[in-house]
Amino acid sequence: MMDESFLNSLVRLARLKNEPVDFLALKEAISCFTPKQIQSPQGQIQAVVDMLHLSKPVFLRNPDPSNMPALFARAKGYWSVVKGKNAQGLWVIDVWDENDNEWVEETSADLLGLCLVKISLSVPFSRHNSPVYQLVKSEVLLQKKPLFEALLGGVLINCIALITAFYTMQVYDRVVPTGATQTLLVLTMGIGIAILFDFLAKHLRAGVNEQIIHRVDQRLARTVYMRF
């Protein structure tokens, strides 16, 4: 019965948080509890987290409405769900009624001294295990030459940005103290050429990026439609 209340409470919590939950996997994980895990609410939570590879649960010592909804271990190991506080400042708790097979709302003045845990039943995203991520990564890495050209363009653009900074330093160091107009003219012509080259490099890099995106998009679309 305690396992049933735990399972129902987890499913109820997932629905309140609009999280997808694998009911069969959750039921199987709970059925594998050891006697030691059943005796401890913390052990039950940790066992489910470890078996389903969920995010680390947070055990709440000081109840806060901002952390709700949360799982709540009642007396004798029975579980329920705390939804928050009502207008009277009482905690609203969903309790599973075994006789009528429905959830019933109860209220409580405090939750101190009891096991209250915030847990997410959604499996955290892992890009290394994502087939979509691997597919996109493989298609992008096939475009080695355009990627190298885009990388080279980025390096050149950053170098030109440094040149413009050096231009300002040279003007303050060489032109302003001495009034050397010829030096200013040469530096200005040089920075003008650098800015023109910077504009050309950015334009070419944008074209290379569009080429990469277009190729990857075509290959991904073809792959997806072939799978369909």
Using CA atoms, how far apart are residues 1 and 3, in angstroms rounded to an integer? 5
Q: Yes or no: say if 201 and 160 are a contact pair by the CB < 8 Å rule.
A: yes
**pLDDT tens-digit readout, 54-67:** 888 888 888 888 88
Please determine, looking at this structure, whether the domain spanning 2-124 carries the CATH number 3.90.70.10. Answer: yes
First to last CA, the chain: 45
Q: Yes or no: say if 75 and 82 are a contact pair by the CB < 8 Å rule.
A: no
Domain residue extents for the chain? 2-124, 128-227
Return all residues near 217 (Cβ < 8 A) that are at least 6 apart: none
Tokens of 18: 């609009």
Q: Yes or no: say if 119 and 107 are a contact pair by the CB < 8 Å rule.
A: no
Pick the residue with more confidence: 210 or 23?
210
Instruction: Give the count of beta carbons closer than 10 Å to the beta carbon of residue 30.
Output: 20
**pLDDT tens-digit readout, 171-181:** 888 777 887 78
Note the pLDDT of residue 1: 47
Q: Per DSSP, what are the bridge partners of residue 105? A: 94
